């Protein structure tokens, strides 16, 4: 087989089919993202978003793939569904609804019912957010005074609300199809595609600023260098691991001897990947979205001042949410008690630590320290570019959050492709190309 990884990538018929499906699905998403809702003054809307380009509206527009700025049928994006998933996860974690606890014990059938409940909840949130956004839109005007909505009748409001909620459900369905029939990470890939779609225009804008001498060439080079450094740091942390040594005692099973080997338990520094960042971003946008579209309201002005992008309060809340969701995600996906019991069952032990509960406590302690280290790093990367942009007027068109998502999703996607290749015995492709976790010591 050809040792060229790109050529070998398409020698697996099933993987080739999956990648083609993902590309077609993302193309459909990008086409739908530019279909405008009828009854909108496109010129007035463009002027309004141009005025708020550096604020929260510009931030939300990036993560909707430009759909919000065009007020397309996908203007709400996937955020209502993500918010529904967060609320459902919090409810399950708090064990406040016994019915959900029962579903968790029903295996695959229970999981399907939970997903259906989340979908319905996401639809309800989509209708509520779509209605609020449409009502606010009827009160908005461009800097010149032109109304954005041509005919703000109840017919327009109801039709637009249903259209926006349907758009969210379409993105949700498309993401599930990508996860099932593609290469996984459906929702993350959709957000990734929306961010990357804005990259050419951002580079072109940077080039124009340098050409018109509005920005020094040295400043542009420094910006690009910072972006490259941030991307390198994200890759470095996303692939870092804390390896806990595990030894297995020798034991006889029939006529064969098993065990007697040393291994390790790998703990990723950033176990949640981009999930914690996406969840934190989704929570942050809920009050800010409403406040941005109701600037005349006193409470909205207080929210915008207190949670303005780049402010100290905004950064602290954002950091706290990222750290919280890092720990929350780990609590939902990583169970030290099960790991300790399985190690004890198969004769495994950590040198110097007794099997059973002491092993669980030891693993929990290391996991907590590792998670804190990764969460703090991710938080700083998420807020630092925005802080520099606001305080020093440095035009970071793609802040740390966008870079974290782009790099994180790209790494996860590469990992998914590698898993598919390994499943089909394409080892020659993997030689020298597999992304390997690095040993990273974070205390004992």
* pTM beyond 0.85: no
What's the pLDDT at 296?
A: 64
Sequence-distant (6+) residues with CB within 8 A of 46 are 69
DSSP single-letter state for residue 149: B
Q: Nearest CA to 245 among 155, 348, 125?
A: 348
Sign of CA dihedral 6, 10, 15, 16: positive
The angle subtended at Cα 67 by Cα 398 and Cα 276, nearest 5°, is 50
- The answer to whether the CB of 406 falls within 8 A of the CB of 192 is yes
379 Ramachandran zone, left/alpha/beta (phi>0; psi -120 to 50): alpha
Q: Which residues in the chain come in under a pLDDT of 70?
A: 1-11, 52-59, 93-96, 101, 104, 250-260, 288-297, 300-301, 303-311, 385-399, 423-444
Strand 240-248, strand 348-349: pairing: antiparallel
CA distance 110 to 62: 35
* pLDDT tens-place string over residues 324-369: 988 988 888 888 888 888 888 877 888 888 888 888 899 999 999 9
Tell me phi and psi for residue 437, to 5 degrees. -75, 145
CA nearest neighbour of 134 among 106, 117, 155, 110 = 155
Nearest of 92, 82, 415 to residue 277 by alpha carbon: 82
d(CA 73, CA 87): 25
Domains located in the chain, CATH noted: 1-197 (1.10.3370.10), 208-444 (1.10.3370.10)
CB 429 within 8 A of CB 259: no
pLDDT at 54: 59
């Amino acid at each position: 087989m050809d040792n060229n990884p790109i050529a070998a990538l398409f020698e697996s018929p099933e993987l080739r089919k999956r990648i083609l499906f993902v590309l077609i699905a993302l193309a459909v998403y990008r086409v739908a993202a530019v279909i405008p809702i009828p009854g909108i003054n496109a010129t007035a809307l463009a002027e309004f978003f141009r005025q708020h380009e550096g604020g929260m509206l510009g931030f939300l527009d990036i993560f909707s793939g430009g759909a919000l700025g065009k007020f397309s049928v996908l203007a709400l994006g996937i955020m209502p569904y993500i918010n529904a998933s967060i609320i459902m996860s919090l409810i399950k974690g708090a064990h406040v609804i016994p019915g959900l606890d029962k579903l968790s014990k029903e295996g695959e059938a229970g999981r399907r019912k939970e997903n259906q409940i989340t979908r319905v909840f996401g639809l309800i949130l989509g209708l509520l957010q779509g209605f609020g956004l449409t009502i606010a839109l009827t009160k908005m005007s461009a800097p010149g005074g032109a109304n954005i909505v041509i005919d703000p009748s109840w017919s327009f409001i109801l039709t637009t609300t249903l259209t926006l909620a349907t758009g969210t459900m379409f993105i949700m369905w498309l993401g599930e199809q990508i996860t099932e029939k593609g290469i996984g990470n459906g929702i993350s890939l959709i957000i990734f595609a929306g961010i990357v779609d804005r990259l050419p225009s951002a580079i072109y804008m940077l080039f124009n600023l340098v050409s018109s001498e509005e920005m020094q060439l040295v400043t542009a080079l420094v910006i690009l260098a910072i972006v490259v450094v941030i991307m390198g740091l994200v890759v470095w942390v996303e692939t870092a691991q804390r390896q806990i040594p595990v030894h297995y005692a020798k034991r006889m099973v029939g006529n064969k001897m098993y065990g007697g080997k040393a291994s390790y338990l790998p703990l990723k520094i950033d176990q949640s990947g981009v999930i914690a960042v996406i969840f934190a971003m989704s929570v942050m946008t809920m009050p800010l979205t409403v406040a941005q579209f109701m600037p005349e309201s006193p409470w909205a002005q207080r929210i915008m001042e207190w949670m303005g992008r780049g402010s100290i309060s905004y950064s602290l809340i954002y950091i706290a949410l990222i750290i919280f969701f890092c720990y929350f995600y780990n609590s939902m996906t990583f169970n030290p008690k099960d790991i300790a019991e399985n190690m004890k069952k198969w004769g495994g032990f950590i040198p110097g630590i007794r099997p059973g509960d002491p092993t669980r406590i030891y693993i929990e302690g290391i996991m907590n320290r590792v998670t804190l280290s990764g969460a703090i790093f991710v938080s700083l990367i998420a807020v630092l570019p925005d802080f520099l942009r606001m305080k020093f007027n440095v035009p970071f068109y793609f802040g740390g959050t966008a870079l974290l998502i782009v790099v994180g999703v790209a790494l996860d996607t590469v990992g998914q492709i590698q898993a598919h290749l390994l499943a089909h015995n394409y080892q020659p492709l993997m030689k020298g190309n597999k992304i390997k976790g690095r040993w990273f010591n974070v205390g004992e």
